[in-house]
Amino acid sequence: MVLDNIKNLSLYKSLLGDSVEAIENFLKENEVSPKENGTYFLDGADGSKLRANISRYDTKSAEGSFLEAHKKYIDIQLIAEGEENIGWANLNDNFTPREEFDDAKDIGFFRDDCDTFVTVKAGNFVILLPEDAHMPCISTTDKPTHVTKILFKVLCE
């Protein structure tokens, strides 16, 4: 997992390739004309290599939440407004799946506990690789806060 400020995204070009330029262009467009909640394809018609999901929501308690992981995509989770905690654990063979991995949605959930959390504030992002189990959308206080997040899904190549 990487935690950084969006101003430094270009430092990760060796990891993310041409996706960096597409993401930067999308963010510039969104700044000028904010986009609604939804999925936006950044690589053409089907978004299979790069897409952005914009969502606005209230954070939740870690209690009752589950770690998740992906096999085909790298997550770049950018907090545009607000702040949230994101739990992290290094995915290993000892993790207990909550249910069978959903290949179509590229997501699996795990029963295991999470004891490492990072606070991601507006303007910052995390990069989560397939080996990074994570628990997003967690409140930084005992009360929910409103967050706007742009989640970029980058196909692992």
CA separation, residue 47 to residues 5, 82, 117, 132 (Å)? 25, 27, 30, 22
pLDDT at 44 over 90: no
Residue 72 confidence class, pLDDT cut points 50, 70, 90: very high
pLDDT confidence of residue 93: 72
- Residue by residue, DSSP assigns the chain as -EEEEGGGGGGGHHHHTTHHHHHHHHHHHHHHSPPPSEEEESSSSS-SSEEEEEEEEE-B-STT--EEE-SSEEEEEEEEESEEEEEEEE--TT--BSS--BTTTTBEEE-----EEEEEETTEEEEE-TTEEEEEEE-SSSS--EEEEEEEEEE--
Domain, as residue range, for 13: 2-155
Residue 17 confidence class, pLDDT cut points 50, 70, 90: very high
pLDDT confidence of residue 131: 94
CA separation, residue 67 to residues 2, 47, 139 (Å)? 17, 25, 15
pLDDT confidence of residue 30: 84
pLDDT confidence of residue 154: 96
Q: What is the mean pLDDT of the chain?
A: 94
- The length of the chain, given as a count of residues: 157
Number of domains in the chain: 1
Residue 59 belongs to domain with CATH number: 2.60.120.370
Q: Are 23 and 9 in contact (CB under 8 A)?
A: yes
Using one digit for the tens of pLDDT, what is the confidence trace for 76-108? 999 999 999 999 999 987 899 999 999 999 999
